[in-house]
Structures are given as C-alpha cells and as structure tokens.
C-alpha cells in the first residue's frame, strides 16, 4: 500500500515535521542542560581541574572548548552536506544519518569516565555534531511544509512539542536519579544515582531514534533533482557563496542576519552553560539539594518556555516580528544583569522562569522570521544552511570567549557581561529593520 503524501500546509504534515522536535529535544535538555552537566561535574576533582592532553583545564572551560571545536566541524560540514542533499534531492537521508550518529553517541556516554576522558569526550563530540547537523535539514523543511502565514505557529508548535516531550523523559530520568531503588539500581546512595544518570544517557538515544520515525515517514524526500558529479562535494559551499551574493538583493535579510548572529552568539552560549553556572555559582546547602535544584530549574525553564513560544508568536502577530524580537532581546539583557548578582537557589529559580519565558520565543521567532525573509525558492536548504552556519559560528565564538574568560578569571560571572553587551547590540541591529505590520509578511 502506497504511503499517503500530505500537501504543503496540511496540518498533519506540519505535525509530522514538528514531531521531530519531540524526538530530538531530549538531547539539549538531558545531555546539554541537565543530567550530563551534573554527571560531568560529579566526576571532577575537588579542585575543579581536569588533566587533558598534558594540560590542566578548569572543567567548565574544557567542556566549552570541546563544544566549540565540535561546532567548528558542524559549521564546516553543514553547507557541504546540505549542498549534496539538495543536489541529489534527498535531504531526508542525510538527516537520518546524523540522527542515528547523535543518538548512538548519546548511548555511548554511558561509558564516560574520568579515567577514559578522551573516549568520553569523543562520544560527547559526536552526539553534539549529530544533533546540530540534523537540525540544518530539519529547519530547511519549514518553508516546504508550511505556507508563509503558517510558519510562525508551525515553528512555535515544533519548539513546544520539543519542550513537552523532553520534560516527560527528564521527569522519568529524575525519578531514576532520586529513587534508583525503584528501578532495581543498586549501590550506595551516590553510586546508584551516578548509575541512574548513566542509564539516562541510554534513554535519550532510544527516545531520539524511536520518535524520529514518524517525521521520517511523512517528510518529503527533498526538492533537488541533480545528478552526482565530481563537483558535488563543493556544491554546498558554492551555494553558500551564491546565497551571500543574493543578500544584496534582499536588504531586510541582509540586515537581519548580522543581528541574528550577534544575539544568537549570546543566546546559544547561555543555553549551553546555564547548568554549569548553577552548579558552580549558586550556594546550595548540599549535593542532593544541588542535583534536585538544577533539574527543577531546567524543568521550570522548559515548562515556562512552552507558553513563552506561543506568547511570542501571538505578540509577533499583533505587533510584528522585528519589534517582538527587539523586546525579547532587551528582556534577555535584563536577565543578564539579574544573573550577574544571583547567589541563592530562589534567585536561580526566578532567573530560570525568566529565561524560560523568552528562550523558546526568541528561537522560534528567529527561525520563522528568517523563513519569511528568504526568497521563494525550491533551494530552501541552502538558505537554511547559511542560517545554520551563521548560528554555529556565533556559538563557536561565544563558547571560546566564555571558556577563555572562565579559564583565566576563574569565575563564570564575568562572562555574563559579555552576554549583556551582545543582547543589547542585537536589539540595536534589529531596530534598523522596518517592523512588519501585523497579519503581513516581512517581504
């Protein structure tokens, strides 16, 4: 029986696309933001220094540098692979490759130990690459599956489904970490909790693979129809160059990308280091309170972010995308000022609630705003590859700057001042773009 192919704009196709957010969002929540940072910190010696390749690194600085290197690979490979995918007309196949690479690497984190730090960081490295590389293909589907007037809410739906799905798995993981005996996990209190964290990495990989299948089943293969030639490897970079030259014909897009680059540098770095900040800079009474507090804080962010994504979509419909993004950037700047001074758990919870309200909204609205700004074309992957590279280069710069400040000053708080400046500059750059009127496209 032949599979039914839904037409562009069909709610079932949009839901199938958004379901990949449900599948993949367990990685950024459990691995990037919650369980893995706590597990990683638990392995760190009391002085906070990890010996790696003959050098002593502050643990948070080391993970920042490894993350930056992984994003260098992602930024380089994304245009190469997306160009190939568009050229041969099968971006779904490439999306699958990175999904399976990332999910299997997540399971490999079970073997992450201080004694085998090199192998553990390799699994961390490839899990990160798998997640972020899959997103360039996933994001590029947005203009393929939804009409312009649907894209804000389609994007918000994806983020919201991701928050809900990842919360469900995190709650399960939390119950394992706090009550390992419920699941037959033996050992002392600390040993059994550590085992439960390691099992959590396996659940992420299984969840990611399992729930990706619905999106894979319904998403179209792609729009390209070219044949493989000797130049195919460099086609993606040629497409990026082509997009770069096309920017001259789309002045709003040309103004939006520098603004996005600046504020995304701060945004993505904050998301990646938030739990490490809470682990080191907040005065917890004991390790148990710290573990529960950090997980509860991330859960709070995820729950509030569901409402934040939709609230931002509604605000953009009423007041326009650009004005809404400016306001959200200024809110982020205010949160940076608050975060610089926080020390107590309750202050950390308040900051977490504020972050949740604007985190999903700025990501979702940035994606849909860019989707509206690009020209109508079948070559959507090249434009979203450019968007993806812009974001990844920002993350590289952000993580290197953060890691350097953290390594040489010994405090993560000093890096917050960098984020504050970037959000303010981002809002200023956005202010140069005419605000689209409600119920209209930006073009």
Residues 169-220: pLDDT tens digits?
988 998 998 889 999 998 888 889 899 999 999 999 999 999 999 999 988 8
Report which secondary-structure segment, H or E, holds 51.
Answer: strand 49-52
Q: What is the pLDDT of residues 365-385, one digit of tens each?
A: 888 888 888 887 666 667 877
Query: Contact, 199 vs 185, CB < 8 A?
Result: yes
Query: Contact, 117 vs 57, CB < 8 A?
Result: no
In this prediction, residue 441 carries a pLDDT of 47
Whole-angstrom distance, CA of residue 263 vs CA of residue 346: 27
| Phi-psi group of 106: left, alpha or beta (phi > 0 → left; psi -120 to 50 → alpha; rest → beta) | alpha
350 vs 158 pLDDT, higher one: 350
Answer yes or no: is pLDDT of 138 > 60. Answer: yes
262 vs 379 pLDDT, higher one: 262
Report the DSSP beta bridge partners of residue 49. Answer: 58
In this prediction, residue 440 carries a pLDDT of 41
Answer yes or no: is pLDDT of 437 > 50. Answer: no
Q: For 242, what's the count of Cα atoms within 13 Å in the CB-facing half-sphere?
A: 16
Residue 149 maps to a domain: yes
* Count of H-run helices and E-run strands, the chain: 16, 2
Number of domains in the chain: 1
Q: What is the pLDDT of residues 294-322, one digit of tens each?
A: 888 888 887 888 788 788 888 888 888 89
In this prediction, residue 26 carries a pLDDT of 93
pLDDT band (50, 70, 90) for residue 42: confident
In this prediction, residue 146 carries a pLDDT of 85
Residue 157 maps to a domain: yes
- The tokens for 127 are 């899990």
Report the DSSP beta bridge partners of residue 52. Answer: 55
pLDDT band (50, 70, 90) for residue 222: low
Task: Residue 225: name the closest of 75, 90, 30, 414 by CA.
Answer: 90
Residue 176 maps to a domain: yes
258 vs 376 pLDDT, higher one: 258
Q: What is the pLDDT of residues 265-284, one digit of tens each?
A: 999 888 888 888 888 888 88
Whole-angstrom distance, CA of residue 268 vs CA of residue 256: 17
Q: What number is the average pLDDT over the span 328-336?
A: 94
361 vs 102 pLDDT, higher one: 102
pLDDT > 70: what percent of the chain? 91
pLDDT band (50, 70, 90) for residue 259: very high
In this prediction, residue 51 carries a pLDDT of 83
Residues 318, 302, 113: CA angle, nearest 5 degrees: 145
Q: Give the per-residue SS3 of 187-253.
A: CCHHHHHHHHHHHHHHHHHHHHHHHHHHHHHHCCCCCCCCCCCCCHHHHHHHHHHHHHHHHHHCHHH
In this prediction, residue 75 carries a pLDDT of 82
229 vs 371 pLDDT, higher one: 371
Residue 96 maps to a domain: yes
Whole-angstrom distance, CA of residue 82 vs CA of residue 236: 6
Query: Contact, 138 vs 20, CB < 8 A?
Result: yes
CATH of the domain at 137: 1.20.1250.20
Residue 435 maps to a domain: no
439 vs 205 pLDDT, higher one: 205
Answer yes or no: is pLDDT of 4 > 90. Answer: no
Residue 59 maps to a domain: yes
In this prediction, residue 418 carries a pLDDT of 87
Other Cβ atoms less than 10 A from the Cβ of 148: the count is 15
Query: Contact, 123 vs 111, CB < 8 A?
Result: yes
DSSP letter, residue 295:
H
Q: Which are the contacts of 420, defined by CB distance < 8 A and separation ≥ 6?
A: 333, 336, 337, 340
Answer yes or no: is pLDDT of 288 > 60. Answer: yes
Residue 26 maps to a domain: yes
Q: What number is the average pLDDT over the span 318-327?
A: 91
In this prediction, residue 438 carries a pLDDT of 39
In this prediction, residue 82 carries a pLDDT of 64
Query: Contact, 180 vs 196, CB < 8 A?
Result: yes
Answer yes or no: is pLDDT of 66 > 70. Answer: yes
Residue 359 maps to a domain: yes
Answer yes or no: is pLDDT of 65 > 70. Answer: yes
In this prediction, residue 305 carries a pLDDT of 81
pLDDT band (50, 70, 90) for residue 227: low
In this prediction, residue 326 carries a pLDDT of 94
Domain interval for residue 332: 11-430
């Amino acid at each position: 029986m032949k599979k039914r192919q839904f037409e562009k704009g069909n709610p079932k196709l949009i839901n199938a696309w958004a379901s990949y957010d449900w599948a993949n969002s367990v990685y950024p929540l459990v691995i990037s933001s919650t369980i893995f940072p706590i597990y990683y910190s638990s392995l760190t010696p009391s002085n906070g220094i990890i010996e790696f390749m003959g050098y002593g690194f502050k643990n948070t600085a080391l993970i920042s540098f490894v993350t930056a290197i992984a994003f260098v690979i992602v930024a380089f490979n994304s245009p190469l692979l997306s160009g190939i995918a568009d050229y041969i007309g099968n971006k779904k196949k490439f999306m699958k490759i990175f999904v399976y690479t990332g999910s299997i690497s997540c399971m490999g984190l079970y073997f992450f130990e201080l004694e085998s730090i090199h192998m553990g960081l390799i699994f961390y490295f490839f899990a990160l690459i798998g997640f972020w590389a899959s997103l360039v293909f996933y994001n590029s589907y947005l203009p393929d599956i939804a009409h312009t007037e649907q894209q804000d809410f389609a994007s918000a739906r994806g983020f919201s489904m991701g928050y809900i799905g990842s919360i469900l798995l995190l709650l399960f993981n939390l119950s394992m970490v706090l009550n390992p005996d419920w699941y037959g996990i033996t050992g002392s209190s600390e040993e059994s909790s550590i085992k439960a964290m390691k099992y959590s990495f396996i659940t992420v990989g299984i969840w990611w693979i399992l729930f990706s299948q619905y999106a894979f089943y319904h998403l179209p293969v792609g729009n390209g129809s070219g044949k493989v030639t000797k130049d195919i490897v460099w086609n993606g970079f040629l497409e990026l160059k082509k997009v770069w030259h096309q920017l001259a014909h789309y002045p709003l897009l040309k103004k939006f990308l520098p603004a996005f680059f600046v504020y995304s540098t701060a945004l993505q770095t904050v998301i990646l280091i938030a739990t490490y900040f809470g682990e080191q800079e907040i005065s917890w009474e004991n390790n148990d309170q710290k573990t529960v507090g950090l997980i509860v804080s991330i859960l709070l962010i995820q729950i509030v972010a569901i409402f934040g994504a939709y609230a931002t979509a509604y605000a953009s419909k009423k007041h326009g995308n650009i004005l809404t993004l400016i306001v959200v950037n200024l809110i982020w700047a205010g949160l940076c000022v608050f975060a610089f001074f926080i020390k107590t758990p309750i202050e950390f919870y308040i900051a977490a609630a504020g972050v949740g309200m604007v985190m999903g909204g700025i990501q979702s609205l940035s994606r849909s705003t860019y989707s509206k700004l690009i020209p109508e074309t079948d070559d959507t992957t090249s434009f979203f590859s450019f968007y993806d590279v812009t974001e990844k280069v920002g993350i590289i710069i952000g993580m290197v700057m953060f890691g350097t400040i953290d390594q040489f000053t010994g405090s993560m708080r000093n890096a917050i001042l960098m984020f504050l400046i970037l959000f303010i500059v981002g809002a200023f750059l956005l202010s140069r773009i005419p605000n689209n009127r409600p119920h209209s496209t930006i073009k």
